[in-house]
Structure 1
Amino acid sequence: MKSSGPAFLILFATLMATAGTGISIVAFPWLALQHHGSAKDASVVAAAMTVPLVFATLVAGTAVDFFGRRRVSLISDSLSGTAVAAVPLIALTAGRAALTVAVLAVLAFFAAAFDPAGMTARQSMLPEAADRAGWSLDRTNSIYEAIQNLGFIVGPGIGGLTIAAVGGVKTMWITAGLFALSFLAIGALRLDGAGKPHLATRPAGLVSGVAEGVRFVWNLRVLRALGLIDLVVTALYLPMESVLFPKYFSDHRQPAQLGWALMALAGGGVVGALGYAVLSTHVRRRTAVLTAMLTFGAAAVGIAFLPPLPVILVLCAVTGVVYGPIQPIYNYVMQTRAPRHLRGRVVGVMAGLTYAAGPLGLLVAGPLTDAAGLKVTFLALAVPILLVGLVACWLPSLRELDREPELAVDPAP
């Protein structure tokens, strides 16, 4: 019997959890900046939110394939909510002075460490939810990624506005509440394939499970190319969003404008992701990927010159629109190439590649900003993004994006 209920529960949980993460991305570095106004402090805290992501995503994929998608999502939301709630609890019990850069870095580390498991679990349930609702994979991935981007509109927007209104510490109560709503939605979910997998299809162990996922991704040329591209681009872009933008708007005492800039980027992403289902019938996937990367690089270079706020908002929105179809395309490739019993690990490996170089970029960006200034650092990160897009135009493996995949088959239980 067809029912869209499970799909809507997954989408609602995704919106709540992503919005919570979006607030954290803004609030943790902002709280660090309140100590000495140093970009280095903000970059340390922001890096603490990315350091666990590589290992966490790899482990999350194996955990999803071993324990089951629904269970892992519930555990992830509860632990993430606890980590962010610790910020106002510490301030209440020990005073604001107890929230040093080191303490904030530790809490940011744990808040980020559990997010990938929830993301991987929810994303791994999409094909079954689409089948139950009678939706195509293109439509499901389009809506899912639009919801993700909407979360990054709601999250940073709430974060910037509430920091201005009530301060960064109290803002974390809202973050914890959003994770609680995600927990409740997944708790109500009933869906085939969301429970504990059959013994015959589970990974034999953590190391072997991760290795199996890595081998699958590495041996499939198109997934390998997409993963490595995301690794480089994320390493270059993440410092802009997590350190350079907060530093720029903090110097100008404009937390709400920081929220608007991130909301413009995510708002464009919503439009781009929602348009993907229609776009896919008219434009080749490879063309969409290359157009997105080249436009992203050009817009990043434009932002690097720190033009007036309206220009920054337009460039962020344009970037979001053209980049919106990217993740639905990535999702489609993973869902149609990987067998169901490997899906969690493939999602985890791809996400892990995306985050692998993030900490290095963040740790370099902070000191470089303090030494050379925001504009130089922006350019040092933006120009290579454009170069990656140019190199991608010559990669033969990306031509496989437009080839029909072979049917992925699970082993018999």
Structure 2
Amino acid sequence: MKLVPVAYLASYLLSLLGNSIAGIALPLIVLQVTGSALGAGTVAAATAIPAVLAGLLMGVVIDRINRRTSSVVTDLVSAASVAALPLVDLLSGLSLGWFVLFGIIGSLGDVPGMTARDALLPAIVRHGGIASERLMGIREALGAVALLLGPAAAGTLMVLFDGSTVLWITAATSLAAALLTLLIPHHVGAIVAADGAAVGRTGSGWGQLRDGWRVLFRSRFLVMTTTLSLASVIVLASLQGLILPVYFTLVEQPGMLGFVLTALAAGMLIGGTLYAVAGTRGRRRAWFLAGLIGSTLGFGIIAALPSVWLVFAGAFVVGLSSGLFGSLMGVLMIERIPEHMRGRIMGTQNAIMTAAPPIGIVAAAVLTEYAGVNAAAVALAAVWLVALVLGLASPSLRNLEPNAVQAESDVTVVVEGA
């Protein structure tokens, strides 16, 4: 494999691993410093809205500058915001205000960083001599590795080191991700049109943002794929963040909850690896159906809450199906999102996916409180069933082969000229 995809994938893994460690360690450190669960909730709430807004608005910037540059800058912002916390702790001591301040600054790098890295994918395929199916399959598998290693690494580090010291390590992963991205030649990140010409910076930022939203919401293909991804995120986050913790508490086995994440990540690892090896074989519709129907089976098993071991099996099936489905969706996004609008469109998608989990968890909490955990689990399964029906019935998802890209591009051109 050439240097370009290796550097990209290594950077992706380190960035994701750092976020995974921080996601576990940071709330624990806030609790240690403030002694208040409300403090940890305040930090999470204060950073959520800026993260979503940054995802929506920074897409315009990502569409105006070199994609490699934007990826490096966002990783550096993330590294600096995390490293600032232990530095402040050394100088004056931490308080809730410092966590909120640097959490907001860090959120300006998180979703835009995800978008910048996603926007760079077509260039990695073009210059890296790697099939998009293989690249996306490996990327999905690496995401599973980060999901497996991150919580374990966070727990180990919190035992071995002082809380704020752990943040130096998470900051170092973001810094290393930025340095690895610098190994990708600068010209690889240049924004080019379909004919290979460089894309100019025309129009106001707000006008460009509106154009991106028009293309996203007027493309039946993009609306349907975004809807399916949104439904998956809501259902999975609600099951993992609320339904299963309540269930394992009721059966008096709360320590088993972590194994659900392990089963999910193991399934994703196998699914992503399978797609990387065999994704170019067979019709894409078959891969699509395997991911969609497999997710339905897995969500159905979990929602039934039959027994602890069957819940683990359901989580594995969901992970396996997500590995296939996520890899295919990544390939389709590479092919069908216009190059010069990739930041705006993917930034909007990533912002929606960032906002969705808290909304789903709150809705599941209300249902659990008033109707019981079983009713809430069934309601979540019903949400995915609706998504399944939409996915199977949608004409825009019937032909997923590369020869269907031109038809979607024609629609995009018409919309842009509206």
TM-score when normalising by structure 1: 0.81
* CA deviations over 1:344-396 (Å, ceiling 9, x no partner): 33322332343343342244455666777766654543442244223422222
Give the alignment of 1:70-81 within 5 angstroms: 70-81=68-79
Alignment pair present for 1:16 and 2:11 = no
Q: 2:65 aligns with which of 60, 63, 67?
A: 67
Is contact 2:191–2:340 with CA below 8 Å preserved after alignment?
no
Counterpart position of 1:295: 294
What secondary structure, in the 3-state scheme, does the structure 1 residue paired with 2:203 have?
Answer: coil
Letter in 1 for 2:344: R
Counterpart for residue 184 of structure 2: 189
Give 1:8's aligned amino acid: V
Residues 234 and 355 in structure 1, CA contact (< 8 A), matched pair in contact too = no
State the Cα distance separating 1:258 from its structure 2 match: 5.4
Q: Larger deviation: 43-52 or 348-357?
A: 43-52
- CA apart distance, 1:66: 0.6
The SS at the match of 2:399 is helix
- Deviations along 1:101-132, one digit per CA (max 9) or x if unpaired, are x7656654443431222222222222222232
Distance 1:78 1:277, change over 3 A: closer
Q: What RMSD, in angstroms, separates the aligned Cα atoms of the two structures?
A: 3.8
CA contact (8 A) 2:12 2:177 kept: yes
* 1:181 shift after superposition: 0.9
Q: In structure 2, how many angstroms separate the alpha carbons of the residues matched to 1:32 and 1:370?
A: 28
Look up the equivalent residue of 2:233 and give its one-letter code: T
**Residue of structure 2 equivalent to 1:399:** 398
What number of residue pairs does the alignment pair up? 404
Aligned to 1:342: 341
Identity, % of aligned pairs?
28
Change (3 A) 1:224 1:282: same
| Equivalence for 2:416 | none
Which runs of 5 or more residues in structure 1 are unaligned? none
How far did 1:212 drift?
1.7
Considering only CA atoms, is the larger Rg found in Structure 1 or Structure 2?
A: 2
What one-letter code is carried by the residue in structure 2 that aligns with 1:70?
R
Contact preservation (8 Å) 2:67, 2:189: yes
Aligned mates of 1:248, 1:92 — CA distance in 2? 41
Deviates more, 1:394-403 or 1:160-169: 160-169
Provide the residue aligned with 1:209 in structure 2.
Answer: 208
Q: Which amino acid aligns with 1:80?
A: S
Offset of residue 244 of structure 1: 5.7
1:226 is matched with 225
- Deviation of 1:285 after TM superposition, in Å, equals 2.8
Change in 2 beyond 3 A, CA 1:26/1:364: farther
The more displaced of 302-311 and 291-300 is 302-311
CA contact (8 A) 1:271 1:324 kept: yes
Distance 1:26 1:246 in 2: 16
User: For 1:264 and 1:184, how far apart are their aligned partners in 2?
Assistant: 32
> 2:6 corresponds to which letter in structure 1?
F
Runs (5+) with no aligned partner, structure 2: 414-418
Name the residue aligned to 1:238: 237
Distance 1:30 1:262, change over 3 A: farther
Aligned: 1:172 with 2:167: yes
Q: 1:152 aligns with which of 142, 147, 150?
A: 147
Change (3 A) 1:337 1:244: same
Alpha-carbon distance between aligned partners in 1 of 2:115 and 2:209, rounded to the nearest angstrom = 14
Instruction: Determine if contact 2:297/2:317 at 8 Å carries over to the other structure.
Output: no
Paired with 1:168 and 1:193, the residues of 2 have a C-alpha distance of 39
Deviation (angstroms), 1:272: 1.0
TM-score, normalised on structure 2? 0.80
Equivalence map 1:264-303=2 (5 Å): 264-303=263-302
Q: CA deviation at 1:28?
A: 4.1
Q: Counterpart of 1:179 in structure 2: which amino acid?
A: S
For 1:79, the aligned partner's letter is V
Contact 2:14 2:177 (C-alpha < 8 Å) held by counterparts: yes
Q: Deviations over 1:157-188 (max 9, x none)?
A: 32244345557654433321211110111233
Question: 1:393 is matched by which residue type in structure 2?
Answer: L
**Aligned partner of 1:58 among 37, 56, 59:** 56
